[in-house]
Amino acid sequence: MKATSKANSNIALTKYWGKRDKKLMLPQNGSTSMTLSDLYTITTVEFDKKYDADSFVLDGETLEAGTKEYDKVKKHLDLIREKAGISENARVESKNNFPTAAGLASSASGFAALSVAAAKAAGLDLSPQELSILSRRGSGSATRSILGGFVEWTRGEKDDGSDSVAKQIALAKDWPEFRMITTIVSTAQKKVKSTAGMAKTIENCPYYKDWLATVNEDIENVKKGIKEKSFTLVGETAQYNCLKMHATMITTRPPMIYWMPATIAIMHAILAWKEEGLEAYFTMDAGPQVKVICLEKDVPELEKKLKEIEGVQKTVVCKPGDGAKIIEEHLF
């Protein structure tokens, strides 16, 4: 009853912002994303009678019982235990190869890896669709990390959430020239987590209704752009969608401004470079890290320019990556 999974992070090209059902983690709107090749979580889960209680270690640090993070993982394991009809406690160890809770979708890769490893360890044989639904219960964006390449998370209409799942738009091999350069401008954990930020936005942002009214058009444009390999359509739509989402955050009370000086400097630079003929676009989740959307041929020049911007600590170039999978090398 032991298994290990590797799941890649994903970055939304059109964003998910807001829940309509907090228990089932059902979104107010659908979203699209690219699964990243080089940002990932590895998680090992073992269910065994020898464990007196569940234990969780993340990036070498033990999560204390009773903390929000501990309870969230335990709740997810309880779902899996109930589904599998087992009662054993679990030992869970997980590690990220990138900063946790810093706007790089660590919850997406984290809960996708946890779901795949724990389901396997519990003896469940779940389809990608079932794993997508299970992962969603831990983190909405984890729904998309189950699949590789380019993914749509459908909003769904059913109250039980059975139609709010990840669907393949294109495989990683279908657009191998597509790239996303992740810039790290801060490794600190963000003060307002995404779940809390979404709730505040829905509660009092006067423009949230406009976000919902326009997001479906963005989704369709990104899907069309991916299928037709129209880089300009995908890039322009993703950048516009990102700015609309952050506009709702900024106009929430109290405002949530995740950007840092380096974040804004990168945004200005991307816009200026495009005017000069270097086509690239930016997107950001709820955090300060800017993800630069580009094509493979422009990566060397863009990396050079990005590293010259004050505040940029690191860049990671990602291709479209694979979906979550079981691996043989355990963490313990």
Q: Kindly list the distances between the CA atom of residue 234 and the CA atoms of 21, 136, 265, 288, in Å, as whole numbers in the listed order.
A: 29, 25, 22, 22
Q: Where are the domains of the chain?
A: 2-172, 178-318
Write down the pTM of the prediction: 0.94
pLDDT tens-place string over residues 54-112? 999 999 999 999 999 999 999 999 999 999 999 999 999 999 998 766 656 689 999 99
% helix / strand / coil in the chain, to the nearest 5?
40, 25, 35
Q: Are 190 and 286 in contact (CB under 8 A)?
A: yes
pLDDT tens-place string over residues 113-171? 999 999 999 999 999 999 999 999 999 999 999 999 999 999 999 999 999 999 999 99
Q: How far apart are CA 315 and CA 182, in angstroms?
A: 5
Q: In what order do the strands lie in the sheet with 178-184?
A: 281-283, 291-295, 178-184, 314-318
Q: How far apart are CA 105 and CA 114, in angstroms?
A: 14
- CATH code reported for the domain at 178-318: 3.30.70.890
Pure H helices in 106-230: 106-121, 128-138, 142-145, 194-204, 208-228
Q: How far apart are CA 42 and CA 268, in angstroms?
A: 35
Cα 177 vs. chain centroid, distance in angstroms?
21
Q: Kindly list the distances between the CA atom of residue 160 and the CA atoms of 21, 25, 77, 164, in Å, as whole numbers in the listed order.
A: 10, 10, 20, 9
CATH class of 2-172: alpha beta
Q: In a 10 Å sphere around its CB, with 0-12 CB exposed, 13-18 middle and 19+ buried, how is residue 148 labelled? A: buried
* Helix and strand totals (H; E) in the chain: 9, 14
